[in-house]
Amino acid sequence: MNDILDLHTHTIASGHAYNTLYEMAHAASQKGLQLLGVTDHAPRIPGACHPFYFLNFKVIPRELYGVRILMGCELNIVDYEGGLDLEPRYQKGLDLGIASIHEPCYTCGTISQNTSAYLGAMKNPIVQIIGHPDDGRFPVDYETLVCAAKEHHVLLEINNSSLHPACNRKDSRTNGISILEYCKQYQVPVILDSDAHCEVDVGNHSRAHSLLEEMEFPSELVVNDSIEKVAAFIPALAKLLSPGGSDND
């Protein structure tokens, strides 16, 4: 599969990543990517930037080094109803929203409560991707999650960082297999993302690709080979691709 995009990456604005926006974009260009999503952490993550950061994306070019840029946010799911930690007034300028559960921002509940948290986030139109739902520290009903992703037209992420041997997420490989099995059964698309916090990892989906190959997962259910495929899930990108679309709209 020709993997041309990476929509979950972080810059120094996240507080615990190591490169600037321009360094991440340059790395994407060097690696042959056509589309890069920059999704710095929302405010509840320790060390993350002030919400004002998300108000000023209008000043950032939507193409750098020949790579189309989407400026988004990795939003924190904060309760069992799927509430998010970035107020609506700061969401208006986002090209992309990833909703994730992170340990400092969410108290683990039952399987039903954790699943409800994801489902509630999916219903928010600012969310187009569910980030690393593989984390076994927050057990989920994966069949329900996959069916809801199909219903709400949201992408589930296969997170390359989760599959790193040193990652502190729990049982991510086993849970990733469950997600892919249900996605295959119900014909639900997935997206591969690096979750890069350093330029060396931009576009690195090697572990995710290995898992897909092991599962014999159909390539037509992976959006990484086509900007048009992923644009079907991201209105801001679809607008840019439409006739007359402009980075300055």
Report which of 96, 95, 74 is spatially closest to residue 86, judged by C-alpha positions.
74
CA-CA-CA-CA torsion sign (154, 196, 135, 180): positive
Please give the structure tokens belonging to residue 18.
Answer: 């190591």
pLDDT value of position 1: 86
Report which of 151, 45, 51 is spatially closest to residue 94, judged by C-alpha positions.
51
| pLDDT tens for each residue of 24-65 | 999 999 999 999 999 999 999 999 999 999 999 999 999 999
Q: pLDDT-based confidence at 248, cuts 50/70/90?
A: very low
| pLDDT tens for each residue of 89-146 | 999 999 999 999 999 999 999 999 999 999 999 999 999 999 999 999 999 999 999 9
